[in-house]
Amino acid sequence: MDYPPNQRNVVRRAYILKKPCQPKTYAFPTRDIGGPHWFSIFWFKKRDWLEYGIYKDAAFCFVCYLFKNEVEANVGGDAFVNGGFRSWNKPDRFQKHVSGLKIAHNLAYEKYVNLRDGKKKSIHLAFGNANESVQSTYKIRLKTSVSCLSYLLRQGLAFHGHRENEESLNRGNFLELLKWLKPHNEYVSNVIFENAPGNCKLTSPMIQKQIINCCAKETTKRIIEDFGDDYFDILVDESRDASQKEQLALYLRYVE
């Protein structure tokens, strides 16, 4: 920040060319934190943003340091930026530093990638090169929606409510199940509803139908694999629903 504003990106590019300081052959000193603990080189493997300062015996976030002035309101007192992180007995703090799509680290990482690459990439390439936390949060969000929908399918319960807006006291079984799960699981809480990007919440009726169709296909595939070449019979039943539309139900029966 001592450089003029029009020179700061040039300085950042120079740091990016040098890459984070990751001394993988260094003999890391031991600290007594309720027992002997030290920095592990294995922490470098999936964290391209992590660097280690030998002089301070502390870990830092490379991208947050470069862009902390542009996301300063979100950085707060993060140890990975201010003073360094030294609690080697709490490696879960690495994941906490990157959890949540809208936190400072991910805003800084996005700026870092844009400056490093210098050009726009296709959506497929961008997702393929997405940092670990973006892919991780997406998978958690997707698995959570799939699990909730699978539960409702097994129990034969309705998914939607009459009113699903945020002011509604009952938004339907699916959204209410997600809402109930939120305070019981910190990892899930960090990636759903208001902590998810506006175009990737994975809760819309269209997404629900797509997941349900996937479950139906997997169930049908499993049944067919189960009875194989054995005998089976098919029953067909037809009736009208409340809107006078014909509904066809197909039953496939076999003996285990």
| Dist CA 86 CA 226 (whole Å) | 54
Instruction: Give which of 105, 92, 93 is closest to 133, Cα–Cα.
Output: 105
Are residue 91 and residue 32 in the same domain, yes or no? yes
Are residue 48 and residue 85 in the same domain, yes or no? yes
Token output for 52: 């280690």
Are residue 212 and residue 198 in the same domain, yes or no? no
Q: What is the largest CA-CA distance in the chain?
A: 80
Are residue 100 and residue 51 in the same domain, yes or no? yes
Confirm whether 241 is domain-assigned: yes
Are residue 190 and residue 142 in the same domain, yes or no? yes
Are residue 12 and residue 102 in the same domain, yes or no? yes
> Of all helices (H) and strands (E), which one includes residue 69?
none
Confirm whether 139 is domain-assigned: yes
Are residue 217 and residue 168 in the same domain, yes or no? no
Using a cut of 0.85, tell me whether the model's pTM lies above it.
Answer: no
Confirm whether 225 is domain-assigned: yes
Q: Which domain holds residue 38?
A: 5-117
Are residue 196 and residue 222 in the same domain, yes or no? no
> Of all helices (H) and strands (E), which one includes residue 243?
none
pLDDT digits (tens, 9 = 90+) for 40-58: 989 998 888 999 999 999 9
Are residue 190 and residue 225 in the same domain, yes or no? no
Residue 146's pLDDT band (cuts 50, 70, 90):
very high
Confirm whether 231 is domain-assigned: yes
pLDDT digits (tens, 9 = 90+) for 60-72: 999 988 887 776 5
pLDDT at 142 over 80: yes
Question: What is the domain count for the chain?
Answer: 3
- Characterize 136-156 residue by residue with b for buried, 16 or more Cβ atoms within 10 angstroms of its Cβ, and e for exposed: bbbebbeebbeebbeebeeee
Say which DSSP state 195 is in.
Answer: G
Token output for 113: 């990638």
- The β-bridge partners of 214 are none
The predicted pLDDT at position 43 comes to 92
Q: Which of 117, 145, 174 is the last residue of a domain?
A: 117
Are residue 212 and residue 189 in the same domain, yes or no? no
Are residue 163 and residue 212 in the same domain, yes or no? no
Q: Which of 203, 220, 245 is the last residue of a domain?
A: 203
Residue 45: φ, ψ to 5°: -55, -50
